[in-house]
Amino acid sequence: MDAEGQVLTDASTLSQTVMRQAIEGADQFLVTDTLSAEGNVPQSILAHNIHKIICIPLRQMRETRRGESAENWASRVFGVLYLESRFQPELVSDVDHELMRTIAREAAALVDNAQLAAIEDQARQHQEELQIAARIQQGLMAMQIPAFPFAEVQAHSVACSAVGGDFFDVVAGDDTLNVALVDVSGKGISAAILAATLQGMLYVQLQTNQSLEAIAAATNRYLCNKDVGKYATMLLLRLHEDGILEYINCGHIQPRICSGTEVVRLETANLPVGLFGDAEYTAGVTTLHPGWRVILVSDGFTEAENDQGDFFGEERLDSAVVCSDLQRVLGNMVTYCAGHPASDDCTIVQVSYSGHPNS
Q: What is the pLDDT of residues 139-178, one digit of tens each?
A: 666 667 888 999 999 988 776 665 667 888 999 988 899 9
For the cut 90, the answer to whether the pLDDT of residue 7 exceeds it is no
Residue 102 to residue 111: CA distance in whole angstroms: 14
Amino acid at residue number 3: A
The more confident residue out of 6 and 60 is 6
For the cut 90, the answer to whether the pLDDT of residue 197 exceeds it is no
Please state the rounded mean pLDDT for residues 105-113.
81
**Confidence tier at 8 by pLDDT (50, 70, 90):** confident
- Residues ≥6 apart with Cβ < 8 Å to 28: 56, 57, 100, 101, 104
**Confidence tier at 126 by pLDDT (50, 70, 90):** confident
Most confident stretch, 22-26, 98-102, 152-156, 252-256: 252-256
Q: Tell which residue, 177, 145, 146, 174, has the closest CA to residue 353.
A: 177
The pair phi, psi for residue 32, each rounded to 5°, is -120, 125
Q: Does domain 143-353 have CATH number 3.60.40.10?
A: yes
The more confident residue out of 14 and 279 is 279
For the cut 80, the answer to whether the pLDDT of residue 204 exceeds it is yes
Contact (Cβ atoms closer than 8 angstroms) between residue 240 and residue 175: yes
Residue 333 to residue 312: CA distance in whole angstroms: 7
Residue 329 to residue 322: CA distance in whole angstroms: 9
Please state the rounded mean pLDDT for residues 267-294.
95
Residue 157 to residue 125: CA distance in whole angstroms: 27
The pair phi, psi for residue 170, each rounded to 5°, is -125, 120
CA atoms 267, 228, 185, 198: torsion sign: negative
Q: In this predicted structure, what is the pLDDT of residue 163?
A: 61
Most confident stretch, 57-71, 127-141, 185-199: 185-199
For the cut 80, the answer to whether the pLDDT of residue 69 exceeds it is no
Q: Tell which residue, 4, 10, 92, 82, has the closest CA to residue 48.
A: 10
Distances, alpha carbon 50 to alpha carbons 7, 21, 94, 135, 295, in Å: 18, 18, 23, 62, 82
Please state the rounded mean pLDDT for residues 191-210.
88
For the cut 60, the answer to whether the pLDDT of residue 64 exceeds it is no
- Name the pairing type of β-strands 284-287 and 30-33: unpaired
For the cut 90, the answer to whether the pLDDT of residue 335 exceeds it is no
Please state the rounded mean pLDDT for residues 269-296.
95
- Which run of H or E residues covers position 235? strand 232-240
The more confident residue out of 8 and 352 is 352
Average pLDDT taken over every residue of the chain = 82
For the cut 80, the answer to whether the pLDDT of residue 31 exceeds it is no
For the cut 70, the answer to whether the pLDDT of residue 78 exceeds it is yes
For the cut 70, the answer to whether the pLDDT of residue 260 exceeds it is yes
The more confident residue out of 337 and 210 is 210
Q: Tell which residue, 143, 150, 142, 185, has the closest CA to residue 164.
A: 185
**16-115 belongs to which CATH class?**
alpha beta
Residue 349 to residue 211: CA distance in whole angstroms: 21
For the cut 90, the answer to whether the pLDDT of residue 15 exceeds it is no
Q: In this predicted structure, what is the pLDDT of residue 291?
A: 94
- Rounded to a whole number of angstroms, the CA Rg of the chain reads 34
pLDDT tens string 297-319:
988 888 888 888 888 889 988 98
For the cut 70, the answer to whether the pLDDT of residue 48 exceeds it is no
Q: In this predicted structure, what is the pLDDT of residue 89?
A: 59
Contact (Cβ atoms closer than 8 angstroms) between residue 72 and residue 63: no
- Which run of H or E residues covers position 234? strand 232-240
Q: In this predicted structure, what is the pLDDT of residue 232?
A: 94
Distances, alpha carbon 212 to alpha carbons 202, 249, 354, in Å: 10, 10, 23
- Domain extents in the chain: 16-115, 143-353
Residue 349 to residue 302: CA distance in whole angstroms: 14
For the cut 90, the answer to whether the pLDDT of residue 182 exceeds it is yes
Residue 225 to residue 235: CA distance in whole angstroms: 21
**How many residues does the structure list for the chain?**
359
Q: In this predicted structure, what is the pLDDT of residue 28?
A: 64
Q: In this predicted structure, what is the pLDDT of residue 38?
A: 53
